[in-house]
Structure 1
Amino acid sequence: MRIVNMAEWPLGEHDERSHPPEGELLWNESWYFDFVSEDGQLGGYVRLGLYPAWKRAWYWACLVTADGRRATVLDHEAPLPAGDLTATGEGYLAAHRTTDPFRRAEIHLSSADLSLDLEYRTAGGVYGYAITPRYEIPCEVTGTIDGRPFRGHGERDHSWGVRDWWSISWLWSSARLEDGTYLHGMRANLGTELPWPAFLAPAGEGPAHVPGFSAATVFDGDRPAESVLRFPGQVTTVRPIAFAPVALTSPEGTVAAFSRAMCAYETEDGRTGAGWTEWHQPPGWREHPWEGRV
């Protein structure tokens, strides 16, 4: 297993556990679990976000299919878990466990609309960000969805720190190509260049950081229609297949649009794949610097 850490802070297996909260209202700790079936026709994601100072947790579980099915469990007022990562709310029970740090994790959800029992096994290694405490892990994903066998791929991540959803827009994308290559890229629209998190992980290899990642997006109104991801030596076109968005309301009542979609990916040399992309759109996002908009 390869661990690539772009930051000066050490990244160790202890980081798979929860971190001591800080006092800011928007300090949060979150765990994401994305998944897409091998044929790219079904996918989803789970996010658990803890907001200790705000005295709540956010729980999201979304499932989409290429033919238009969508099932969601969205709760922005869940009680904070007591000592573990179990989320509960009206009509659902969700659990999240790291069974072997950096190597295996599990998620479980029982609800009237959606049930998940999935295991994430690390494919290659771990990638740590430089610009914020966060790491990404490309994974093979197996288990059951609504009681039916599932096999596919995905990425899980874990982050902690202040996250102001209502002031910054960004693009985040993760996928697996048909030749087994995992890719990941992220850019925030800050009006300045930073060491943006991006990696390529060929089949059987761990993530390798690639500098100079950029992205451009064409919008149809407010909806993303297509993005082009540029890695050194590789250009990949991303097209949404099925959206699973979430509306996010701040403590003051401001609403941001979190546009997330299962997507089809195609490289310039003809390789295809599937994964997830998000285009975060806070109020006034069109007026903010957006290096990635065309």
Structure 2
Amino acid sequence: MNPADFRLDPADEYPHPAGPERNFNESVYVNAFDDGTGVGGWMRLGNRVNEGRAELSVCLYLPDGRIAVRFSRPRIDTNDAFDAGGLRFDVIHPMRRLNAAYEGDVFIVTNPDDLRHPETLFAQAPRLSCKVEWRLDTISPQHGGEPVRHDVQTMYGRDFSLGHFNQHIHASGHITIGDEHFPISGHGWRDHSWGPRWWTNIIWYRLFLAAFPDGRGFMIHRIAGEDGRTRRSGVLLIDGHYHEITDFDAITDWTDKRDPTSVRIVVRTATGRTAEITGEILSLAPLRNRREENGRELLSRIAEGHTRFTWDGVVGYGMTEYIERVAEDGSLAGFPL
């Protein structure tokens, strides 16, 4: 990514005027994990104001394999804030500090495989009160922005988000679920995007995210276009600076249900840096997105993996995200890549 191809201003931390597209989306996403225990998770709020609703996602990975989740579509009338359904993001200092908080119920999932059948799960799963409070301080430069020309390639493609930036973060705070309390002192990643979005516009992609106690981190991304060709992009965070990735290979090990269990990544950057990284998926949330178009249902699988990564013997926690279209015969667009 060439920084000269993008514009980014501190004002981009805040909501943008909604575009005319029915599927205009502006979203904030954060993940955070304790460096010692690995406890943590991710939260996202996507404002779809032209549809009169937001997309709320809370997914928290607990020490014994349980996952606490909440997904809803709270009503919104404006795109003036990231605050709906009990989830709120506050900009304390643009590009430097963000506070994330959730207060509401969560469903307790003891067997993550049950998330494949959410209607049944949410009718039967126990619900507990939850409170999340995270302070997120950035430890890296900003990466991305809004393209300055029509020929500039965006990270996900212009039919998924026009503007997009991200940063690695230090995270502190807590998660409280029922009478259980989990302190968070560790690291994570955050992003902010705006523009038209349908989740099913993605053919398939692989996204790997982590930050480590020694200050290093990475964002590694591979995405397929309609023509079947893939693009590789991302950064390594080393000594407080981002090094753009020029190429990488990622080899995934799979279960018999076609879920990722581990990954081996070899990376090279434009500055000549190389890295060998392994990841073990500790807990996977097998999610999905559905919509109808011209009377036909479109379905994508979104596999969200809580992952323990190892880089030069140092352990850090983060996420693997595997998205792909599901064909009518059940085949997955990106499997087994």
TM-score by length of 1: 0.87
Q: Does 1:274 align with 2:317?
A: yes
- 1:100 counterpart (88, 93, 98): 93
How large is the RMSD of aligned CA atoms in angstroms? Answer: 2.3
1:202 counterpart letter in structure 2: I
Q: Comparing both structures, which one devotes a greater share of its residues to helix?
A: 2
Does residue 291 of structure 2 align to residue 257 of structure 1?
no
- The aligned amino acid for 1:96 is F
* Structure 1 residue 78 corresponds to structure 2 residue 74: yes
Listed as ranges, the gaps of 5+ residues in structure 1 are none
For residues 3-36 of structure 1, give each alpha carbon's deviation from its aligned partner in whole angstroms, at most 9, with x where no partner exists.
Answer: x864613111111111222233333111101011
Instruction: State the match for 1:22 in structure 2.
Output: 19
For residue 38 of structure 1, report the CA deviation from its aligned partner.
0.9
Q: Residues 58-95 of structure 1: CA distance to partner in whole angstroms, max 9, x if unpaired?
A: 000111124212111110x211264221112xxxx221
Question: Match for residue 242 of structure 2?
Answer: 207
Distance 2:29 2:2 in 1: 19
Q: 1:125 aligns with which of 141, 144, 148?
A: 141
Write the mapping of 1:140-155 to structure 2, written as runs, cut at 5 A: 140-146=170-176, 148-155=182-189
Q: Is the 8 A contact 2:35 2:316 kept in 1?
A: no
1:119-151 per-residue CA deviation (whole Å, 9 max, x = no partner) reads: 100013211165242111100001121155321
Task: Give the match's secondary structure for 1:197.
Answer: strand
Query: What code does the residue aligned with 1:104 have?
Result: R
Structure 2 CA distance for partners of 1:43 and 1:5, relative to 1, 3 Å:
farther
1:133-212 to 2 correspondences below 5 Å: 133-146=163-176, 148-167=182-201, 168-190=203-225, 191-194=228-231, 196-203=232-239, 205-212=240-247
Contact 2:302-2:323 at 8 Å conserved across structures: yes
One-letter code aligned to 1:52: V
The match for 1:231 among 267, 278, 295 is 267
* Contact 1:256/1:281 (<8 A) preserved: yes
What amino acid maps onto 1:63 in structure 2? L
Shift in Å, 1:282: 2.1
| Closer, same or farther: CA 23–251 of 1 in aligned 2, 3 Å | farther
- Check the 8 A contact 1:262/1:277 in 2, yes or no: yes
Structure 2 counterpart of 1:64, one-letter code: Y
Q: CA, structure 1 residues 140+25, in 2 after alignment: closer, same or farther (shift >3 Å)?
A: same
Counterpart position of 1:48: 45
Looking at structure 1, the residues matched to 336 and 4 of structure 2 have their Cα atoms a distance apart, in angstroms, of 28
Q: Distance in 1 between matches of 2:284 and 2:17?
A: 34
Following TM superposition, by how much is the alpha carbon of 1:40 offset from its aligned partner in structure 2, in angstroms?
4.3
2:237 counterpart letter in structure 1: A
| Native 8 Å contact 2:224 2:230 kept in 1 | no
Q: Is the 8 A contact 2:284 2:303 kept in 1?
A: yes
Task: Identify which range, 145-154 or 55-64, moves more after superposition.
Answer: 145-154
SS at structure 1 position matched to 2:12: helix
- Structure 1: distance between partners of 2:331 and 2:223: 14
User: Unaligned 5+ residue runs, structure 2?
Assistant: 106-128, 146-152, 156-162, 269-273
Q: Structure 1 42/282 Cα, relative in aligned 2: closer, same or farther at 3 Å?
A: same
